[in-house]
Chain A
Amino acid sequence: MTKAFRLPRVLFLLLTMLSIVACSVPPTTPQGQTPTEAPAQSGATEPTAAPAAADPAAAPAASGDGALTDVGTPRSETLIFQTFDRQTANPDLHNPLMGTYAVWRGFRELAWGYLWEMDTGTGQSYPELAADMPEVLNDEYTRFRVKLRPGIYWSDGVEFTADDVIFTLDTYFENKDKLTYWGVATITNYVKSYEKIDDYTFEVETVNPAYDFVTVLGVYTWGSALNIVPKHIFEKEADVAAFRNTNPVTLGPYVVKEFDPNGFWQLWERREDWERSAWGSQGEPKPKYVLYKDFGPEETRTLAFVENQYDVDTFMSPESIKAAVAQNSAISPYSPTMPYHDMNDACSYGVLMNQHRPPLDKAEVRWALALALDLQDVGINALSGEFKASPLPMVDTQILNPIYFAPLQGWLNDFALSDGYKPFNPNFGAELVGKLTEMGLPADQMPQGDEAIKNAFGVGWWKYDPAEAEKLLGSVGITKNADGIYTLPDGSVWELEFVIPGDWNKVMQRVGFSIADSWRKAGIQVNARQVDNAEFGTVQNTNSQLTTLLNWTNCIFSPNYLNAWRSIQPEFLLPVDSPDTITGNMYRWSNEKVFDLVKASYSMETTSPEFYEYGREIIKEFVTDMAYINLMNIPTTIPTNSTYWRNFPKADNPYAVPYSWWSSAKKILQNIEPTGAK
């Protein structure tokens, strides 16, 4: 062999060796964190031996006792949720005082406890760590006494007391320039002073009258500004902001058993002493293990769901649900009839319009956009008709409907624009049913009767009337040119930028494109621009960048509308081309009457009839000004697989809303039952 010929061979050899070495490179784990299995904790919560094989790397397989999950737990004892954020960026950060901690891995539901929790089905607050609702100590509604429930213990066996609450508040105030959890800024601007009275009692004074005390120091649906941390753990840390709390001591009935350092899954194990946990007194959480795991994009997720690899999905598309249901009879949506899914999410989809930017500063133009939007068509194209419309600037839910929608039904029917035109279409749902039936959807899957149709598809929406839209636009000098495209009074084409999410929110992406299509058909030159997550937030909050944008806003879960509308005040507005970001009032809405109504609402008991009446008046102004084109409740698709667990909440068994997060997750864990399948 010549010397020259040896060289490629040597090279081949080297490359082959390199590939073998690369193949056997061990996965690294975060510093000081090998492995991620939680250490045994002292006291009453010493975990039982994991049922997994001694070596966690051993491939899971069916055993004599039944199938094992991918993480080695018995499948029959493990409830598995598909994670809806897929991968968490910070899987080992379990410090709830940092904004980037792995919150979507079940911490809000399984690990922490709150002074007051909110029932996601009714919107009512109820005591969790607190013994009762707070006692108001003065007429100004600024001083409160809170009594804690005795007998609650952290997972390491230390009792939970007022010291933990006081320590947490101290930590918030002393480290507010380092802690990035949003609640730190909220609490430090909300609370004036606090003091411990005894081990189970403390008092708080707020800066302003605090009618929302229970939902700020407790939960407002998605979480609480006050994440209480264990004093005996955190006080040992010199820098609480740097503390990762990788193996957290919890108040909830579960502890972290193991997690993926790459952020694709997290396993929880029920505490032996779950009865002494924050919500253990409400009932036994049935699954011994709860696993949050990513099963990939929708294509592979659907396959895994059909294969019974997990129990609860979230935000699966209607098409995938149909395919999964066809393959596996254990899979079912929330309801057997249209729109198949629960529509009681807190937020709604809608179109934000920068009201500072001409011609969107004119109510006629905003109304024209609403009337040129064929929502039935949009809903059918983007969501297979599986949606619930809402004409008011909030979600039409079982909680809000009796207070705001039903009383305003008559007003909506009679409401007329300045030219006398009545834009409301109370037959929206019935017409949608007709269209869907024409399209071939089985009649027995359609709601029957007016009431059922209203419950399913909403109280109505705005008429699709491009002719009235043209009339309204003409009244402000916007007319069609020879090509049928709208032009501004100066003769230039009206080019409307419409920002929609990119593929990070596929449902909204589809809705956005359908809206743009609807407007184009009406003659509006729309530029639908997809943007990434971070740019989306920047556009929404920056006057100089926003024209119109599709987003979920107006998140009003309980009848306390201030949570969404508190910021409709003049001081929150910025000039039209301001590069600074706004806080709240994303509608850029300036209405003196509403400013007064919102301000007056600050000083009202949030469950009083007067408060609700003010809310209805604000809604009327919203509609009159078309300050925001509210579209529909977020269609939250939560199909379940009942192979291993049964009794998930369904339309015919609505013991809770079906969400696998928020307080409903707690109820679900307490009410599901193993099927016995191994």
Chain B
Amino acid sequence: MGLLQYIGQRLLTYVAVLFIGISITFFLPRLMPNDPIDGYIAQIQSRAGQTLTPEAAAEIRATLTELYGLEGSLFTQYLNYLRRVVFGFDFGPSFSAFPRPVSELIMLALPWTLGLLLTTTVISWLLGNLIGLLAGYYHNRRFATALEVLGVLIYPIPYYILALTLILLLAYTWKLFPLSTTIRPAPLSLAQIGSILYNSALPALTLVIAGFGWNILSMKSLSVATKEEPFVTFARLKGTSDRTRMFSYVFRNALLPQVTALALSLGTIFNGALLTEMLFSYPGLGLLMRTAVGNGDYNMLYGTITMTIFAVATAALVIDLIYPLFDPRIRYR
């Protein structure tokens, strides 16, 4: 198979995945048993009692139907949606934050999510794999067992419990970090970066600790298995150092599935980290999606889910395209 054919096939698959994903994204929220306008009117009724007459309610319904872009048949709305998304990446106004455009809200939340999750995903991947490598390569040593026990202990702890424990210890008892996030809007400066880092440190720490347990365990088992491979034995007989064998022979070969996992993790960070955001009052895409589901905010759901589909599909495409660079076996096929 030629290189161009390989790339072409992957690109076609990518486009097909995007189209199907975006289409499903349009219809899926419509299957939810709620209606954003009914939800809004119910809120008004609970707030304003019956001062809302049927005539007034009908007027509000008609106004919102028009303003929210919910007029016309489902198919007409679908075509409009495709046109807006494909040609303008425009998801329309958010219903829960009307009339603010969805894209504006996403762009407000995205840097927080990227900043927090990209950093923590990469750090937990690096730390976890490094510890897992040590635990696997030196699996007969006592410290290696201790590292493995660390991974086994952390991995199954529910995130919420782990995070609360860290809050109790590091924010309440020792007061190293704030209990809740407060980042005041200001132009970018060293002080502002310091404020962001100070407020983000504890949420990030909880995510790193919660995330690296799996990496420890998986890398440990991969490296134990790889260490027993004949080519590692051959290298040892050849007189290579422990360090060389660990990094150049075991780590490099055990790394391949971990890289795939990392790439897919990077794709899913666009889902946000809902629990972290809720616990720390930390802004991000997770809360946006939660609000959208709670309020039947179709447009917001379209925006956030489409972005995730785009990110995961792109991550998978990139992996497909660069995998031959990592694994010669694929290149030679």
Contacts and interface: CB of A to CB of B under 8 A. Distances in A.
Contact of B38 (A57, A261, A542): A542
A608 interface: no
A545 to B, nearest CB: 7
Contacts of B108: 28-30, 261-262
Given A186-B48, A241-B99, A584-B50, A25 B42 contact: no
B59 A189 contact: yes
Nearest to B293: A532
B97 interface: yes
Summarize B's interface: helix, strand, loop or mixed: helix
Interface stretch (B4-12, B194-202, B215-223, B233-241): B194-202
Contacts of B40: 99, 537
Interface residues of B, number: 96
Of listed B35, B167, B184, B328, residue having the most chain A CB within 10 A: B184
Contacts of A265: 182
B15 interface: no
A130 to B, nearest CB: 19
Given A8-B252, A297-B279, A564-B50, A581 B38 contact: yes
Interface residues of A, number: 107
A259 to B, nearest CB: 8
Interface string B39-54: 1111111111111111
Given A35-B185, A293-B182, A538 B35 contact: yes
A89 B291 contact: yes
Contacts of B115: 22-25
B109 interface: yes
A158 interface: no
A311 to B, nearest CB: 15
B279 A300 contact: yes
B33 interface: yes
Given A59-B194, A90-B97, A295 B179 contact: yes
B197 A23 contact: yes
Contacts of B186: 35, 55-57
Contacts of A57: 183-184, 186, 189, 191-192, 194-195
A220 interface: yes
Summarize A's interface: helix, strand, loop or mixed: loop
Interface stretch (A11-19, A196-204, A476-484): A11-19
Interface stretch (B74-82, B116-124, B136-144): B116-124
Interface stretch (B16-24, B280-288, B304-312): B280-288
A300 B279 CA distance: 7
A295 B179 CA distance: 8
Contact of B56 (A90, A185, A264): A185
B330 interface: no
B97 A100 contact: yes
Interface string A21-38: 011111111110011110
A58 B98 contact: no
Nearest to A58: B191
A295 B94 CA distance: 26
A583 interface: yes
Interface string B271-311: 00000001111010001000101111000000000000000
B49 A563 contact: yes
Contacts of B46: 347, 551-553, 555
A67 to B, nearest CB: 13
29 contacts: A11-B259, A12-B126, A27-B185, A27-B283, A35-B187, A36-B185, A56-B185, A57-B191, A72-B184, A178-B63, A180-B60, A180-B63, A182-B47, A222-B48, A225-B51, A260-B183, A295-B179, A303-B179, A532-B294, A534-B32, A534-B36, A535-B33, A540-B42, A541-B42, A563-B49, A581-B35, A583-B41, A583-B54, A586-B45
Interface of B: 32-36, 38-60, 62-64, 66-67, 94, 96-100, 104, 107-109, 111-112, 114-115, 118-119, 122-123, 126, 164, 167-168, 171-172, 178-189, 191-198, 248, 252, 255, 259, 262, 278-281, 283, 287, 291, 293-296, 325-326, 328
